[in-house]
Amino acid sequence: MSIEQIIFIVLSSIAIAAALGVILSKNPVNSVLCMIICFVAIAGHYIMLNAQFLFIVHLIVYTGAIMVLFLFVLMMMNLNAEIEPQKRNWLKYAGAISGGALLLVLVGALREASLPAINAGASSDIGLISNLGKTLFTSYVVPFELSSVLFLSAMVGAVVIGRK
């Protein structure tokens, strides 16, 4: 077993355990902390795929910004267990049955799928930031500029709403 396989298995195990922690934790703050661990483990997979830019963006955007926002929102909310109504048992059973049915559909669909062989050692420049920049500013310059105008208008809208 190679070191890449060991790292993959460790990162995948951490991600799966943290995802289960998100689902099974009764405390929402603990769920968000488990989700942060899951996102960091998934970011480790990006490094293994030689996608350093995606690794950095994933850490900054998801782990750094969105999860911190979730934590602040959860800490500002008043989450009293006494006030919250109890869920009915049939809703839990319906959710479990629906999840099981979805799992069966996914397994059936993936059974028929064929996976192409991937030659990972063919090119070492896959995922480099310089190649991404060249592609964005040559082939996709119009969509790139349109998305920047969209982000600028969203920021201006947020400032206008924030001032009111």
What string of DSSP letters covers 69-136? HHHHHHHHS---TTTSPPPPHHHHHHHHHHHHHHHHHHHHHHHH--PPP--TTS-S-TT-HHHHHHHH
Task: Judge whether 102 lies within some domain.
Answer: no
**52 assigned to some structural domain:** yes
Residues 10-37: tens digit of each pLDDT: 999 999 999 999 999 888 888 888 999 9
Domain boundary among 49, 79, 109: 79
Tokens representing 112?
């028929």
50 φψ region: left (φ > 0), alpha (ψ -120 to 50), beta (else): left
Q: What pLDDT sits at residue 66?
A: 82
Predicted confidence (pLDDT) per residue in 57-109, tens digit: 888 888 888 877 887 777 777 666 556 567 778 888 898 999 999 999 999 98
- Structural domain contains residue 136: yes
Per the domain annotation, does 61 fall within a domain?
A: yes
Mean of per-residue pLDDT scores for the chain:
84
Spatial distance between the Cα atoms of 117 and 119, rounded to a whole number of angstroms: 7
For the whole model, what pTM was predicted?
0.62
In a domain? residue 14: yes
Q: What is the CATH number of the domain that holds 40?
A: 1.20.120.1200
- Please report how many Cα atoms fall inside a 13 Å half-sphere around the Cα of residue 63, on the Cβ side: 18
**Domain assignment of residue 51, yes or no:** yes
* 91 assigned to some structural domain: no
Residue 6 and residue 66 in one domain: yes
Compute CA distances 22 → 17, 29, 37, 55, 148, whole Å.
9, 10, 10, 22, 34
**Claim to verify: residue 14 and residue 74 sit in the same structural domain:** yes
Count: domains in the chain? 2
Structural domain boundaries enclosing 137: 128-164
Q: Are residues 1 and 58 in the same domain?
A: yes
Same domain as 72, residue 8? yes
Residue 90 resides in a domain? no
Domain co-membership, 9 together with 74? yes
